[in-house]
Amino acid sequence: MGSHDLEDFFEQTAARLAHEYQRIRKRNDDHGTSGDEGEANWARIVLEHWLPEGYHVVTKGRILSARHRGGDPNGAPEISPQIDVLILSPYYPKFLVDSEVKTYLADGVVAAFECKNTLKAKHLAEAARTAALVRNITAPRRGTPYRELFGTPIYGVLAHSHDWKGEDSNPLRNVEKALYKGIQELRHPREMLDMVCVADLGTWLPVKMPWVARGMRRGDWSRIEEHIELPEAYALTHMVRENRATPLMAFMTGLMRRLAWEEPRLLPIANYFHEVAPLSGNGPGRFWGDGIYSEEVRRVVTGPRWIADDSHWRTGDEWARFMM
């Protein structure tokens, strides 16, 4: 059978991105200029072409928190480091979008990405730390498993290619090893990276199961329990590599899904993308105890009567058993 038209369109985008990467590498005369051009490629060739109408894509900006440093109402507001590409809400004030001031209000930034021409392991380590920092200058959300497991804004890494091109190199393993290390160093699952896309290698996206009590586990867990002492119940998070779709299509499918959690009117188109490129894969993960939740949510998910919806993100149910 032939490929779906949507897949063909993404192949065209990927080919253009690859051409730009080769052009930048061939010149290779100034790292600052090369970096700027790489960011512009992701902003103009991918995001501006594929995002729904109304979202604003800007480059080189900082995220300005509504909170003040140290909790002092007279102190300076908390602010992020400079981030390569940001996506602003369709509801972001037009005057501030057009302003020459490159700081953006935290609650109006829906996604932020670090862009690399050639990805290295250290870039993923740095991005994991920055993602945690950004999540900690925005106010934690409360009230449902989704709101407490996923921080805002969406934060990820976009790369044209990678540094592991030697004959004996294993780039997939190198990415997953770096992601695993980054996850283990976090204090809370909301601090996780949301997506890593390497255009000529693969895309990694988060999958989060809010609670897996012993009676809810499916399959044979005995081999896992031989090596890890599991509590009676726990939350489980993974960074899963999509292995059915091409990297760019997997990235935009994942981004559409995450945007649809926050903007339910996007659910139909996000569902369509998912039908063409359903999530399938595996990757590094971590178990979390009930200390990650507010008392309100912990009381519900650990209770004997909690029944989570298996339909997960497609319905926008923030109490779903399976979120991505």
Predicted pLDDT at 313: 58
Largest interatomic CA distance in the chain: 64
User: Minimal CA–CA distance to 26: which of 36, 16, 14, 34?
Assistant: 34
Dihedral through CA 274, CA 277, CA 282, CA 283, nearest 10? -80
**CA 78 – CA 80 distance, rounded (Å):** 7
**Partners of 196 in beta bridges:** 157, 204
Would you say residue 229 has pLDDT above 60? no
Predicted pLDDT at 187: 93
**CA 88 – CA 54 distance, rounded (Å):** 9
Cα angle 316, 319, 322 (rounded to 5 degrees) comes to: 80
Q: Is residue 310 part of a domain?
A: no
**Under 8 Å CB-to-CB from 174, ≥6 apart: which residues?**
121, 162, 164
Would you say residue 239 has pLDDT above 70? yes
Q: Which two tokens stand for residue 97?
A: 């979008």
Backbone angles phi, psi at 5, to 5 degrees: -55, -40
Q: Is residue 138 part of a domain?
A: yes
292: pLDDT confidence band, cut at 50, 70 and 90? Answer: very high
3-state secondary structure of 60: strand
Cα angle 24, 27, 33 (rounded to 5 degrees) comes to: 60
User: Minimal CA–CA distance to 160: which of 8, 19, 53?
Assistant: 19
Q: Is residue 221 part of a domain?
A: no
Query: What is the average pLDDT across 279-304?
Result: 83
Q: Is residue 304 part of a domain?
A: no
Q: What is the pTM of this model?
A: 0.91
Q: Is residue 34 part of a domain?
A: yes
Residue-wise pLDDT for 70-88, tens only, equals 667 777 889 999 999 999 9
Residue-wise pLDDT for 116-167, tens only, equals 999 999 999 999 999 999 998 888 899 999 999 999 999 999 999 999 998 8
Q: Are 242 and 254 in contact (CB under 8 A)?
A: yes
**CA 254 – CA 141 distance, rounded (Å):** 21
Predicted pLDDT at 11: 95
Q: What is the torsional sign of CA 222, 223, 229, 231?
A: negative
Query: Domain containing 182: what range?
Result: 5-205+238-285
Predicted pLDDT at 121: 94
Q: Which helix (H) or strand (E) holds 121?
A: helix 121-135
**Partners of 83 in beta bridges:** 61
Q: Is residue 40 part of a domain?
A: yes
**Under 8 Å CB-to-CB from 19, ≥6 apart: which residues?**
none
Backbone angles phi, psi at 126, to 5 degrees: -65, -40
Q: Is residue 248 part of a domain?
A: yes
Q: Which two tokens stand for residue 298?
A: 């912990």
3-state secondary structure of 176: helix
Q: Are 247 and 145 in contact (CB under 8 A)?
A: no
**CA 152 – CA 191 distance, rounded (Å):** 9
Count of domains for the chain: 1
Predicted pLDDT at 101: 87
Q: Which two tokens stand for residue 77?
A: 């507001």
Average pLDDT over the chain reads: 87
Predicted pLDDT at 98: 84
Chain-centre distance of CA 44, in angstroms? 19
Q: Environment class of residue 129 by beta-carbon count within 10 Å: exposed (0-12), middle (13-18) or buried (19+)? A: middle
Q: Is residue 125 part of a domain?
A: yes
222: pLDDT confidence band, cut at 50, 70 and 90? Answer: low
Would you say residue 211 has pLDDT above 90? no
Taking only Cα atoms into account, the Rg of the chain, rounded to an integer number of angstroms, comes to 20
Would you say residue 192 has pLDDT above 70? yes
Q: Where do we find the tokens 């969406």? A: 154
Chain-centre distance of CA 291, in angstroms? 23
